Structure 1
Amino acid sequence: MLNTTDLISLARDLALPLAGFAVVTSASPGPVNVIAATSGANFGWLRTLPHVFGATLGFTSLILAMGFGLDHILRHTAWLHLALKVLGATFLTYIAIKLFMARADATTGARLQKAPSARQGLLAQWTNPKAWIVAATGIATYTRTGDAYIPSVLLQGIIFTFICLPSIGAWALFGHAAKRPLASPKAIHHFNVSMAVLLLLSVVGVFF
């Protein structure tokens, strides 16, 4: 067991590099952020908050699961790793297709039927190949051995929670800010299609 002094020293050593890693990976374009921006443009920032909170909780739970054994299982079960990638890619492709098919007439305004829920945000992270790669990389790179292992895993969960929330929220704000330029049904339809293409490219990038 680490004493208080050791825990403070561990946090001091890992906090800054972990925060940098979390900012780069959380704020960069990816499936979950694309969904947040699209929802912000279609439904506004407040109605996108459940997705933001759900996605944050989803990634935190994923990185903790990785730290407490899932990573070990995936390293020794190649077919399961591939299956999870395919499942995630399928789910995200389904979302992209829904964006492509969003109608652009005056009645529906090219909008999706409803904003993504917290549960869908959580599911989006657990089926997001990028999230799996980031979580596995974080656990492999920023954990310490011995008694410091569990505290270093928990520290990652805490830091990613506080970084993911504003990062995903910023993408939702970006989409919300774009609502005025996208006021016409045709403009928001083109925005949805563009986000669908970006979403598909982010999925393809995981495999290639």
Structure 2
Amino acid sequence: MIELKLFFALVSYYFVMFATPGPNNAMLTASGIKFGFKKTLPHLVGIPLGHVIQITLVCLGLGSLFSKYPIIQFYLKWICFFYLIYLGWKIIGSFSGNEKERGRPLKLYEAALFQFINPKAWVVALTAATAFFPNEESFLKATAFVAVTAPFVCFPSICVWALFGSSIKSVIKNTKIKKLVEFLLSILLLFTAVIIVIN
């Protein structure tokens, strides 16, 4: 039987990783501002779904594949880097303009797939599959424990960011405030991109 101590440790780790700033939460805040909470729901559901798939794959051996072939990690790192810079650039000016210029919210499958180029998501998956994997349990039960716990912590944690974005939508009608929020969210994504290269 899985110890409660391990369960609470895993939940605490997930909460810290899912609730704190990162690519997902920056994008959800921007989506909440541009489209509102309701239209951001597919994005919100796609993120935990992507985490479950990613964590399961790491438990099944994807993590050891990275160790065996570091070149995969190298290319993945640079794909993440350039994509986050692209996202940061896209946020600039996106809160203003007409509906066409604002684009559309992410679909469920797009949000799920984004986790595979999200550096923070890889850290979560690799750490959960190693530090919190209950080796004394059967492989299937241990994998289910690590993977299935994730969405129950992830979904409420990330909802806060989308709700925050939608709640300040009416407050940031001022052009200067809009530009400041755009700048801060872009900087967050660019900072994450730089951290990837450094590490």
TM-score normalised according to structure 1 size: 0.87
**Deviations 1:111-147 (Å, cap 9, x if unpaired)?**
6221122122112211101111121111110113365
Cα drift, residue 151 of structure 1: 1.5
Provide the residue aligned with 1:75 in structure 2: 67
1:191 aligns with 2:181: yes
Contact 2:33-2:95 within 8 A present in 1 as well: no
Measured after TM superposition, the shift of residue 21 of structure 1 is 0.7
Q: CA RMSD in A?
A: 2.0
Q: Could you tell which deviates more after superposition, 88-97 or 169-178?
A: 88-97
Q: 1:78 Cα deviation (Å)?
A: 0.5
1:153 has 2:143 as partner: yes
State the AA in 1 paired with 2:21: P
What is the deviation of 1:12? 3.0
Question: Between Structure 1 and Structure 2, how many residues are aligned?
Answer: 198
Cα pair 1:26 1:167 within 8 Å, conserved: yes
For structure 1, which runs of at least 5 residues remain unmatched after alignment? 1-8
- What is aligned with 2:76? 84
Greater C-alpha radius of gyration: 1
Between 150-159 and 110-119, the greater mean CA deviation after superposition: 110-119
Q: Does 1:95 align with 2:83?
A: no
Residue 39 of structure 1 is matched in structure 2 by 31
Contact 1:89/1:203 (<8 A) preserved:
yes
Equivalent-residue separation in structure 2 for 1:146 and 1:12 (angstroms): 14
Q: Within the alignment, does 1:29 sit opposite 2:21 as a pair?
A: yes
In 2, are the aligned partners of 1:40 and 1:48 still within 8 Å (CA)? yes
Residues 89 and 128, structure 1, Cα contact 8 Å, conserved in 2: no
Q: Which amino acid aligns with 1:25?
A: M
Percent identity between the aligned chains?
A: 27
Partner of 1:64: 56
* Structure 2: gaps (5+ residues): none
**TM-score w.r.t. structure 2 length?**
0.91
Regions of 4+ moved over 4 Å: none
Whether the aligned pair in 2 keeps the contact of 1:109 and 1:185 (CA below 8 Å) is no
| 1:167-178 correspondence to structure 2 within 5 Å | 167-178=157-168
Query: 3-state SS of the aligned residue for 1:10?
Result: coil
- Measured after TM superposition, the shift of residue 57 of structure 1 is 0.6
